[in-house]
Structure 1
């Protein structure tokens, strides 16, 4: 395995001595490639178009599955996004029957969003497809490498969330195992 400089190492260039190491350039490039590839994998996990689901739908359904029914404001706060964004993103899920709107039990004027049986089934299909893809992509990794990758990726996502003022993991909750 080739050695690389520590991410905190400064690499003098052009006499200014203040440019970050080549490793940080490599890291930002790999994050950009990862983001593009991750978005591409949503188109079916293991290549099955029928298992496609956009990121917003997946995250909303996953949140409702893990935390149960909740109002738009609570869902928006839990995901670190605006209520109007949740309303816009949930509309096609309601229309397709994956999410149901009901009246709040204590305040009939308020709306509660809940995962429907159809939404639960669809979410499980997508999770299984994505799980199979993750297994294929990491089949030659040791279990410890998978664990370390998850730990570091979670730490990276938490740092991004904190930088955006959302606190750790505000947007996403890992799927139930």
Structure 2
């Protein structure tokens, strides 16, 4: 057997992480609305984080084509999870926003998700947790997330790190 390299182990870890993510999204989608797919759920998460968006802007955020995202939005709208509304800054454009029902469901899911992540990292020191999130944020080239981690870490230092 060939000697494994760091990149091979990292690839294996990402494959496992992706599998966990796919399972989480599929289970969450089914909880939201039976038969809902993972793709539309990703759109809900983006709308939750970024607020109302045009379909073309949502497509850019999801790195998908507008046709696919339009189908996702149609599905979500039929299920009562998003609402289309006129863009006040451009009357010709339409924005997609979360429905009140979707906001409530995502609020509940966020509490559960945070608990699961806390449980999974409970044996890690606060410093290790912060380092993990900071480095992962850096790896996926999301400096905004890394900056948030730094702000949280410095605003709420944990005495166990001393």
Alignment TM-score, normalising by the size of structure 2: 0.71
Correspondence 1:34 to 2:17: yes
Specify the alignment match of 2:96 in structure 1. Answer: 113
Match of 2:57 among 61, 71, 74: 74
Any unmatched runs of 5+ in structure 2? 153-162
Note the C-alpha offset of 1:139: 1.0
Specify the alignment match of 1:50 in structure 2. Answer: 31
> CA contact under 8 A between 1:72 and 1:86: conserved in structure 2?
yes
Note the C-alpha offset of 1:106: 4.3
> CA contact under 8 A between 2:26 and 2:38: conserved in structure 1?
no
> CA contact under 8 A between 2:77 and 2:83: conserved in structure 1?
yes
Any unmatched runs of 5+ in structure 1? 1-12, 14-19, 159-167
Match of 2:6 among 8, 19, 23: 23
Specify the alignment match of 1:131 in structure 2. Answer: 114
RCO (CA 8 Å, sep 6+): is it higher in 1 or 2? Answer: 1
2: CA distance between counterparts of 1:67 and 1:122? 17
RMSD over equivalenced CA pairs, Å:
2.9
Match of 2:79 among 96, 102, 120: 96
Match of 2:132 among 149, 154, 159: 149
Bigger Rg, structure 1 or 2? 1
Which has the larger helix fraction? 2
> CA contact under 8 A between 1:44 and 1:130: conserved in structure 2?
no
Count of residue pairs brought into register by the alignment: 141
